[in-house]
Amino acid sequence: MDLILADVGDDGVNTALMYVKLIPNDQRDISQAVFEDQMRPKLTEIPGARVTFRREGAGGGSKDLSIILKSDNPVALKQAADTIEEEMVQTPGLVEVTSSLSLVTPEIIIEPDPLRSTDLGVSVQAIASTAALAFLGDTDSNLAKFNLPDRQIPIHVKVASEKRKDIETLKNLRVPSNDGTLVPLSAVATIRLGSGPAAIKRFNRNRQVELSANLEGVSLGDALETVRGLPGMTSLPPDVSEEPFGDAKIMRDVFARFGAALTMAILCIYGVLVLLYNNFLYPIAIMLSLPLSVGGALLGLLLTQNELGLFALIGIVLLMGLVTKNAILLVDFTLAYMKEGKPIFKALVEAGVSRLRPILMTTLSTIAGMSPIALALGADGAVRSPMAIAVIGGLITSTLLTLVVVPVMFTYIDSFYKGFRGLITNN
C-alpha cells in the first residue's frame, strides 16, 4: 500500500470510507483483486460492520452487480428487498451483498391519531408544523429579525438539542387547535423512538432500493441470470418491479442494440462491395468470412475465460471491417486472373499463392499490435483485454478458413452466376 486516507461521518455518523492507494503493478506481487480477497476476511471480523470494496477509476465506484427494486408501497418494497438480500448472501459467486436499506438512522416517530385529532379540532398540518418548529425552527421569511446598523439577523427559536431527545418534553409540546386552544402533542399523536432509512431514494417517482454485490469467479451475465432466478425475484409482489442498474443496465442495453449495430455494419460492407464489383453475387463469397471470424472470437474468449461483455462486443464489430480484407484480396485477384482468360480453378490457385504472403503479413501485424492489449498491460488493462482477444481470435480463424472456404464458395457462386446469366441470355 502506498497511501491510506480515512473519511469518517461524511455520509452519516454510521458510515466511513477508507481510500487505499496501491503501489504500481510492477512493484507488487499481487493484483488488486487478490489484495481484496486477502483483506475481506479480516475486515468482516469487525462486529456489526458491513464492509465493501469499491474500485475507483474510469468505470466509477459502483459494484459489479446492481439491481433496483421500485414500488410506491414502502412496506412491500422493504419486505421484498430484505428477502432477496438474504437469498443473494447465500448465492455462490456473490460477495459483499448490500442493500440501500441496510443503513438506518435513529428517529423520533410521531403518528397522529385521526380520532383524537378530530375530536379536539387539531389538523395533521398543525401537528407537522409544531414538530417542525420544535426541531428546525421557523422559515426565514417568518422569523423575527434582530436589527443591526448594517444588516438584520434572523432569530431562530426551537427546542434545545438535549431536550429534543427527551420523549416527555416532546409530548408536552402545545399544538394549536381550530378554536385557538393549545392541546398537548401526546393528546393527538403517539410519539416513540424508532429507526428509518438513512436516505430515501426514488426512481421514476417511485421509492427504490438498490441491491448490489461484487462478483467472485462468475461473470456478470451468469450472476444476473442467477439473481433473477431467486425465489424472491420470481415471486415479487404485483406493486414491486425490478430494474437493472449500473453494469447490468449497460449490458442489457448493449445486447439489445448490438444486433441492430451488427446488422447495419454487415449491410454497409455488402453495399460497398456491390458498388465496387458491380455484382450482387460475388460479394456473398467475401461476406462468408464474417461468420468464420465470429466463431474464432467466441472461441478465444472461451479459452481465456473472458466474458462476452461490452468491450468484447466492440471487438466483434471491429472484426467485421478487418476480416473482409483477406477475402477481398483473394476474390479481387481471382476476378482479375479470370478476366485474363484463365479458368476459375487456376485463377483461384494463383490468387491464393500470390496473396498468401500479404494476407499473413497484414494479419500478423494486426495481431502483434493487439497483443499488448490482450495481455492486459497498463492501467485497467484487464478491462480492455476481451476486445483484443476477440479481434485476435477472429483474425486467426478467419485467415485460416478464408483461404479454404472462400475459394470453394466462390466456385459455386460463379457457376450459379454464369448459369443464371446464360439462362437470361437464352430467354
Please state, in angstroms and rounded to a whole number, the distance separating the CA atoms of residues 379 and 36.
Answer: 18
Which structural domain range is residue 159 located in? 106-197
Q: Return the ∠ at Cα 395 (arms to 389 and 397), rounded to 5°.
A: 105
Is there a domain that residue 419 lies in?
yes
| 298 and 402 both lie in a single domain | yes
Which of 44, 61, 78 terminates a domain? The answer is 61
Total count of domains within the chain:
3
Which contiguous run of DSSP H or E holds residue 174?
strand 174-176
| 284 and 377 both lie in a single domain | yes
- pLDDT of 267-297, one tens digit each? 888 898 888 888 888 888 888 888 888 888 9
Which residues are bridge partners to 208 per DSSP?
A: 70, 201
Residue 59, pLDDT score: 45
Q: Return the ∠ at Cα 286 (arms to 282 and 288), rounded to 5°.
A: 115
- pLDDT of 27-66, one tens digit each? 777 777 778 778 878 877 777 777 777 766 544 446 778 8
| 315 and 386 both lie in a single domain | yes
Is there a domain that residue 191 lies in?
yes
Question: Where do the H-state alpha helices sit in 279-380?
Answer: 282-287, 289-303, 310-322, 324-339, 344-374
Residue 178, pLDDT score: 87
Task: Name 110's Cβ contacts closer than 8 Å, sequence gap at least 6.
Answer: 127, 131, 170, 185, 189, 190, 191
Q: What is the mean pLDDT of residues 348-370?
A: 88
Q: What is the mean pLDDT of residues 14-29?
A: 77
- pLDDT of 62-101, one tens digit each? 677 888 888 888 888 888 988 998 999 899 888 888 888 8
| 172 and 283 both lie in a single domain | no
Taking the whole predicted model, whether its pTM rises above 0.75 is answered as no
Lookup: cell for 102: 441496510
| 16 and 112 both lie in a single domain | no
Residue 220 DSSP one-character state: H
Is there a domain that residue 66 lies in?
no
Please state, in angstroms and rounded to a whole number, the distance separating the CA atoms of residues 282 and 267.
Answer: 15
Please state, in angstroms and rounded to a whole number, the distance separating the CA atoms of residues 166 and 172.
Answer: 10
